[in-house]
Structure 1
Amino acid sequence: MCGIFGVWNITKQPVDVQRLLGSLQKIRHRGPDDEGYLLVDSSSREAASCLGPDSAEHVKLPRIERVFDSKFNVALGFRRLSILDLSPAGHQPMSNEDGSLWIVFNGEVYNYIELREELKALGYTFRTQSDTEVILNAYDAWGVDCLNRFNGMWGFALFDTRKNRLFCARDRFGIKPFYYHFDRKRFIFASEIKAILDYSDMERKPNDAIVYDYLNYALMDHSEETFFESVNQLLPAHSLILENGNVYIQRYWDLNPENKLSLASDADYEKRFLELFEDAIRVHLRSDVAIGSCLSGGLDSSSIVCVTNKLLFSDRVVEPELIGEQQKTFSSCFDDPRFDERQHIESVLTTTSAERNYTFPTAQNLMEDIQRLTWHQDEPFGSTSIYAQWCVMRIAAQRGVRVLMDGQGSDELLAGYHPYFDSYWGTLLSQGSFPALLREWSAYRNHYGVSYSYLFQHTLFSIAPKAFQRRVRAGRGALGLNSAFSSRFQSRYPDENMNFKSTPLSNRLYQALVRSSLPALLRYEDRNSMAYSIEARVPFLDYRLVEFIFSLPEEQKIKNAQTKFVLRNSMKGVLPEPIRARMDKMGFVTPERVWMSGELKNWVDDIFTSNSFAENPYLDVSKVKTLMADHRAGQRDLGSTLWRWINLELWRNQQIVQGD
């Protein structure tokens, strides 16, 4: 896991070395172990590899100030967090054997061992034990099609001196970031937006359309656009080629709704799922540094911890010195029992004999950390729940852990949230599966005590025309907006072209996976972990497992009013039974509503009465004050809308008004 940066001045202007060094310093937290640069003259294709002021002492290359010349109009920069092959051989930018290909790479290719053997059979030789060199030789062997052979997470830029082009790519689900600015005069890319803004002299302007999506639809990271005008993200499963002054972007992978699996029994699905899940965790455990696991006490993280424990201590897939006598787990807890999961966490710890590491986020801590958290995230976020994860990353770093396993992605794959029930009922209704629908309704009523009217309304809404759904959802979100601002975007529907061409449930899961839910969660996790120089890994997003789950019959995801049916079945005898059978869901959360009406009340009031908030161009201050009064009087529940108002103001003040 690392930080990457680069610039190509298409007009042949020389690279600004001081800005180059400054931009990479902005993302030093992503890679404190080493620093490296490549300078290129795109006319002659001459390349020079060099070091910066923070480079590791054992890397034998000249310093950048000794080799820089005005002819160099292309630069690649790299900050290293050493995870695989800790030797100087893992230094980046890295070249292939003849120096014709150079790469800066952030992420992991988990199947690099298998690919290396395949490439050796084709005649390639290797100087390192790193996955970075595997990418270089894979590109040399298979061209841009190499991406479909990788299993992992990545954001990389590869300079091909033979073709005088830059080949960039991002992993299938966007676990790793890749941002860029392109104005036909220059192309700038980075792992984080702050590095691009630091290098360029462009005006920091908010992207009003994305701000509208955030305020009205609670959407983030759903588009190639970002909250900053002129800065885009390369979408997941896309590659980018910069050649002859032009940028070409294409999608290289997608799920196929036609791929459907039919096995004889639940036991067969369960067996195949467990095989894939175990192998996903096995390859995600490949590391040369200390490994730990997030543990919330929920089904997903508990499954990872329990399976990981077997692989570590029974199968011995990791060197013992990287683990110690116990698997290390990290959890967010609260003194308020309504938000505390320790009884479930302790059950898993008893089963695995794993080491407990607890952190207790508080409202006071949040106020102390909010500016730093906002700076690291670069863009607004949806709730304070990410602060619990921030605190978990901090204690993991304090314990010396550099790789942390996490359960991100399971909810979007296996229908882990309650609204997915609506879509499943709609699927059964649209298929005419009335006996199954009645059974699911009855099971849901038994568990949650809702009325048949509730079930009927939610089922019909899930299959209603999109235009109707949009009007209803837009009405729920458009609170407190400045009328002049909102009128500019009243016909904007970000999900307009999103259609997986499958059942209502599969369509909704696909949308959550690629647009409405997971992309933002992955951004939070990347920035939170990287703030503490930790590599977070998410084995549920092993693409083999994702493709398998999307091919399953939908009753393997929801059955008898239970979500994640196939996962629950596969964990029999692996998880403590109370965890396996849990019907409630919490995860890493914070007592946001309690904090907002209690310890954070004065802080919130200070924000809403500030001069800066009075000048906010997106919100109507008088409407906000009225809505807040109703909220505090118990006449209205603003939910996450309240935090979006607050966080947008914090972000706007820090990133736009103050400029950092």
Structure 2
Amino acid sequence: MSGISGIFAFDDSRSLPARMLKEMHHSIRHRGSDDEAFIAFPASGKTATIHSGFDSQTPSKHPLLPDDLMLRLGMGMRSLFTNTEGADGCRHISSAKMGLHIVFAGNIYNRNELRQLLEAMGGAFEGNSDAELVLKAYSVWQKQCLEYFNGDWAFALWDARDGSLFCSRDRFGIQPFYYLLQDGIFFFGNEIKQLLPFLGNQQLNLPMLRRMMKINAMLNYRDETPWQGIKCLQPGENLYIKDARLHTQHYYSLHPELFGKLEFSFEDASRQYQELLWDSIHIRSRDTQALGAGLSGGMDSTAIVCAFQQMRQKPVPTFSSYFADHPQLDERKWIDIVTQHCGCDNHLVSPTAEQAWQDLVDGTWYNDLPLGAGCAAQSAVMKLAASHNVKVLLGGQGCDEIFGGYRHAQYRFMADSLRSGKPRDFFRQFASHSKGKPSLDILSNLGKTLLSTALPESKLYQAEMKLLRFEP
């Protein structure tokens, strides 16, 4: 966990007090209080100075950032120590020799392999932080350095050699990056709350909110947020500022038109999927300290826990929630099956209705967006893990969709049976899926199944995007 903040005046004759940057940065203290640092470019000069904050590990090494220091560019970074980079989290983020300065939030999971590659090319490292790793990689490959990263990130990198600011968000948007351009001042950070004090006319983006409610998902759409004027970098997108001009560019995207053209046997696809799953768990866990896993009994968390336990000699600490007053939400049956099979060390929590409501309120503040009811269960699990000194939880998203685990996606599974010439399987699945449902729902599922049989996956994807993520 980590966080970044920044302000930048397009016009070099303008400046802002450092107090503004410090207030932005303090508002995300929950993202990491183990260390913090600031990079300041005073309005009176072009040389960067490094400053400590109240959460810095070694405040005596660098002076505290004065409130009244006038800045053209100021950037802040804070860290929560979770891996072997430890105390180097906010160090080595500035290189006067290279003319490069960075604030970084996230993780580079292939740090070991990438560091070895850069060292073989003559690179020398002062510490072990991911921020320094990205800085060194940029010095060699410039913007193409992203091709070498396996991880999640949101960072801003100032290149003093040509006076440019390079910002990037990871391929799938795991780390958030929000920004605001107000009267020639560029503000950025990991959370919307950092930017709201500087938004002159605070108006809600009503079309965006209507879209959220229509698809029942509180997600940003393209570069929009619920606030007019505040934007977000999209997954797999970069932002560049040079000569007072801002532009964005995608460097990565999925290609749904290829979904139906990949030729794999079921066995090959299963093998490749397992290899990718195991590798992703391995590189996330090898350098991480105080690591556990969330366990709901669903497909994604079960797959992760089972694979993770096979990699470890000691029982994996797992954390689960259930609602004792609502048997339909009690998944302990499935949790117990996984726990007994793997031999993991499971911990349970059952939040009350009052706790669930408070977690929903708190979660909305931390997330800057309204959250679904599942937030209560997830929040309870995270608090339980923290009480056992576990800082990082492995968790899964997407496996239930991929494997057809959700009932609303099973018509695709049934369509596969028809396409494969297995009508008996289709009728058995359809009868089971339709049991107890109203006639209209049965007809709807039949129509979706037949449509899925006739259209390739890429066309279905485009139809869903058009119908659900509608333009206002």
Give me the TM-score of the superposition, normalised by structure 1: 0.64
Return the match for 2:356 from 361, 366, 370: 366
| Distance verdict in 2 for CA 1:347–1:413, change over 3 Å | closer
What one-letter code is carried by the residue in structure 2 that aligns with 1:441?
F
The structure whose residues are more often strand, as a share, is: 2
Deviations 1:425-478 (A, max 9, x none): 66888xxx4835x3453131343344998665434357879xxxxxxxxxxxxx
Question: What residue is the counterpart of 2:46 in the other structure?
Answer: 45
Between the aligned partners of 2:99 and 2:402, the Cα distance in structure 1 is 40
Indicate the residue corresponding to 2:66 in structure 1: 65
The partner residue of 2:389 within 393, 397, 400 is 400
After superposition, residues 639-654 of structure 1 pair within 5 angstroms as none
Q: RCO greater where, 1 or 2, for CA within 8 Å and sep 6 or more?
A: 1
What displacement does 1:137 show?
1.4
Q: Is the 8 A contact 1:297 1:345 kept in 2?
A: yes
Structure 2 CA distance for partners of 1:414 and 1:149, relative to 1, 3 Å = farther
Letter in 2 for 1:176: Q
Q: Does 1:458 align with 2:454?
A: no
Q: Give the alignment of 1:92-131 within 5 angstroms.
A: 92=91, 94-96=93-95, 98-131=97-130
Q: Distance in 2 between matches of 1:411 and 1:504?
A: 21
Moved more, 144-153 or 77-86: 77-86
Contact 1:292 1:403 in 2 (8 A): yes
1:442 pairs with one of 423, 427, 439: 427
Matches within 5 A, 1:123-522: 123-183=122-182, 185-198=184-197, 200=198, 202-219=200-217, 220-256=219-255, 257-258=257-258, 260-263=261-264, 265-313=265-313, 325-335=314-324, 336-381=326-371, 383-423=372-412, 433=419, 435-436=421-422, 438-439=423-424, 441-450=426-435, 457-461=444-448, 502-505=457-460, 507=462
Contact 1:84 1:130 in 2 (8 A): no
After TM superposition, give the deviation of residue 82 of structure 1 in Å: 1.4
Deviation at 1:501, TM superposition (A): 8.3
Kindly provide the amino acid, as one letter, of the partner of residue 432 in structure 2. H
Whole-Å Cα distance in 2 between the matches of residues 268 and 85 of structure 1?
Answer: 35
Q: Which runs of 5+ in 1 are unaligned?
A: 314-324, 466-499, 517-660
Identity over aligned pairs, percent: 31
After superposition, what is the alpha-carbon deviation per residue over 1:104-125, rounded to whole angstroms, capped at 9, x for unaligned? 1111111111111111222211
Task: Say which SS state the counterpart of residue 202 (structure 2) adopts.
Answer: coil
TM (norm. structure 2) is 0.88
Deviations 1:125-183 (A, max 9, x none): 11122222221111111111111221111111111111211111111111110000013
What is aligned with 1:77? 76
1:391-438 Cα shifts (integer Å, max 9, x gaps)? 111111111111110011323444443333334666888xxx4835x3
Determine the structure 1 residue equivalent to 2:27: 26
Aligned-partner Cα distance in 1 for 2:59–2:185: 34
Q: Report the CA distance between 1:223 and its aligned residue.
A: 2.8
Q: 2:337, 2:456 → 1: CA distance?
A: 42
> Contact 1:309/1:327 (CA < 8 Å) preserved in 2?
yes
User: Is the contact made by 2:2 and 2:31 (CA closer than 8 Å) also made in structure 1?
Assistant: yes
Q: RMSD of aligned C-alpha atoms?
A: 2.9
Aligned residue for 1:64, secondary structure, equals coil
Q: Distance in 2 between matches of 1:275 and 1:59?
A: 47
Tell me how far 1:89 sits from its aligned partner: 3.2
- The verdict on how the C-alpha distance between 1:288 and 1:405 changes in structure 2, with shifts beyond 3 A counting, is closer
- C-alpha distance 329-59 of structure 1, shift in aligned 2 (>3 A): farther
Q: Where does residue 56 of structure 2 map in the other structure?
A: 55
Measure the CA separation in 2 of the matches of 1:274 and 1:464: 30
CA contact (8 A) 1:157 1:168 kept: yes
Kindly state the Cα deviation for residue 306 of structure 1 after the two structures are TM-superposed.
Answer: 1.0
How far 1:307 moved relative to its partner? Answer: 0.6
Which segment is superposed worse, 39-48 or 232-241? Answer: 39-48
When residues 181 and 109 of structure 1 are mapped into structure 2, their CA distance, relative to the original with a 3 A threshold, is same
Counterpart-to-counterpart distance in 2, 1:17 and 1:341: 50
TM-superposed CA distance for 1:26, in Å, is 0.7
- Change over 3 Å in CA distance of 1:506–1:114 after alignment to 2: farther
Q: What is the CA distance between 1:45 and its match in structure 2? A: 2.9
Secondary structure of 2:421 counterpart: helix
Assess if the C-alpha contact under 8 Å between 1:94 and 1:104 holds in 2.
Answer: yes
Q: In structure 2, what is the Cα distance between the partners aligned to 1:439 and 1:161?
A: 67
Tell which deviates more after alignment, 104-113 or 371-380: 371-380
**Does the C-alpha gap of structure 1 residues 352 and 425 become closer, same or farther in structure 2, counting only changes over 3 Å?**
closer
Contact 2:199 2:229 in 1 (8 A): no
Equivalent position of 1:490 in the other structure: none
With over 3 angstroms needed to count, the CA separation of the structure-2 counterparts of 1:16 and 1:131, relative to structure 1, is: same
**Contact kept? 2:417, 2:426, Cα under 8 Å:** no
**Matched residues, number:** 459
Write the deviation string for residues 595-616 of structure 1: whole angstroms up to 9, x where unpaired: xxxxxxxxxxxxxxxxxxxxxx
The answer as to whether partners of 1:8 and 1:75 remain within 8 angstroms in 2 is yes
Mark the CA change 1:501 to 1:235 in structure 2 (over 3 Å): closer, same or farther: farther
* Residues 77 and 103, structure 2, Cα contact 8 Å, conserved in 1: yes
Render the CA deviation track for 1:205-253: whole Å, top value 9, x for unaligned.
2111112212334343223111111111111010111111111101101
In 1, Cα distance between equivalents of 2:281 and 2:153: 17
Amino acid in the other structure paired with 1:227: P
Q: Which amino acid aligns with 2:253?
A: D
Q: Counterpart of 1:38 in 2: which secondary structure?
A: strand
Question: Helix, strand or coil for the counterpart of 1:367?
Answer: helix
Moved over 6 A (4+): 426-429, 462-465
SS at match of 2:345: coil
**2: CA distance between counterparts of 1:141 and 1:275?**
30
Q: SS where residue 292 of structure 1 aligns? A: strand
Q: Which runs of 5+ in 2 are unaligned?
A: none
Q: How far 1:304 sits from its partner (Å)?
A: 0.5
- Cα separation, 1, equivalents of 2:401 and 2:182: 35
Rounded Cα–Cα distance in structure 2 between residues aligned with 1:243 and 1:463: 52
Report the residue type matching 2:338 in the other structure.
V
Q: Judging changes above 3 Å, is the alpha-carbon distance between structure 1 residues 115 and 93 closer, same or farther for their aligned structure 2 residues?
A: closer
Taking a change above 3 Å as real, the CA distance of residues 502 and 266 of structure 1, as seen in their structure-2 partners, is closer
Task: Note the alpha carbon deviations across 1:308-345, whole angstroms, 9 max, x for none.
Answer: 011122xxxxxxxxxxx431111011213221111211
SS in 1 for 2:5: strand
